[in-house]
Amino acid sequence: MPSFGDFVHAQFKLKIEPPKTSFSSKTVIVTGANGGLGKEIVKHIIRLDASQVIFACRSQSKGNQAKREIEALLKCNSGIIQVWELDLESAASVKSFVEKANTLPRVDVLINNAGIQAFGNNKAVYDTERTLAVNIIGTFLLSLLLLPKLRRTAQEYRVTPHMTMVTSALYDVAKYPEKHGDDIFTWSKDESHVDQMNQYNLSKLLQLYATIKLSSIIDPIDTDNPTPIVINSLDPCFCKTGLANGLTGVLKVVLKVFEWIAARPAEEGAALVVKAACAGRQTHGRYMRSGEVQEYKPIVLDEGKAAEVWEALCRRLERIQPVR
């Protein structure tokens, strides 16, 4: 977890400038785009002249409402934003979304912003606990299925596509379960194994393990591929978003008060996300915080844990979408 001094710097002292790199001609997919951080990400990208932004959201009606609000605010062409339904809890929805994305001329950027903290709703999804299901399995199913489209975009347009994971500095306080058998996802399906105060943090740790592994396989930094892609991750600082909406009781009140005291506006966190989504090859496989590449904390550098998480994830994704 960030030190107290680092937290104070990130939340109160850090000056976050709006992103300036042009997105002209680019097509950008943003998951969880209809509210909170995602909505602000889209505003930045449109101001930076993106040709098309795909609102990937679970609720079509909420997405359409957010689209209307942004268009009214920015006075942008109504054809720039498209609202597509995407439910990361449903493999069928993810596959349908990817099939549609494959009909686009190009996909330059995928921003994996959607995520949940499933307090009080422990239904099994993808045969595991819901927070891990959405933040890891659904997110990486989408990411891996879209990789070929990102690659084709790189080759055909001679550009450097980006896949950016919105994660959290809370990964460093996650408690990794040591006795989880050979599959942490199967183990987490048992409600008695789930610590609700740890589950979101754990999901962000596992997300980093998987991101590091994926980036070591796909165009590693020393690749001779002339048209590589970038896979990176970032913490957008603690921002005012809707993540606490699923909470109840005292915990919700406490988080709302803390948010009121310390949280940055979602617009500023979104600026950091957009900067990461055009940050270049030097950030491939790396983690960004406060707008800069930051070294991983020791817990992320445990190659044994990373390997077992990656292998368990791949087995599960293979069952959902067998490799042909």
Which pLDDT value is given to residue 243? Answer: 58
Which pLDDT value is given to residue 16? Answer: 87
pLDDT, average across residues 262-271: 88
Measure the CA–CA gap between 32 and 139, rounded to whole angstroms: 11
- Total domain count for the chain? 1
Residue 249 confidence class, pLDDT cut points 50, 70, 90: low
Residue pair 114/94 in contact by the 8 Å Cβ criterion: no
| pLDDT above 80: residue 247 | no
Domain region containing 163: 4-320
Which domain CATH number covers 263? 3.40.50.720
Which pLDDT value is given to residue 324? Answer: 58
Distances 106 to 63, 81, 103, 111 between C-alpha atoms, Å: 22, 15, 8, 15
The per-residue pLDDT for range 218-230, each reduced to its tens digit, is 999 999 999 999 9
Residue pair 229/218 in contact by the 8 Å Cβ criterion: yes
Q: What is the mean pLDDT of the chain?
A: 91
What ranges in 1-102 are assigned the alpha helix state H? 4-8, 36-47, 60-74, 91-101
Which pLDDT value is given to residue 260? Answer: 72
Closest CA to 131 of 116, 113, 114, 143: 116
Full-model pTM: 0.93
First to last CA, the chain: 41
Which pLDDT value is given to residue 189? Answer: 92
What share of the chain in percent tops pLDDT 90?
76
The per-residue pLDDT for range 59-117, each reduced to its tens digit, is 999 999 999 999 999 999 989 999 999 999 999 999 999 999 999 999 999 999 999 88
Which pLDDT value is given to residue 80? Answer: 97
Which pLDDT value is given to residue 251? Answer: 63
The per-residue pLDDT for range 139-153, each reduced to its tens digit, is 999 999 999 999 999
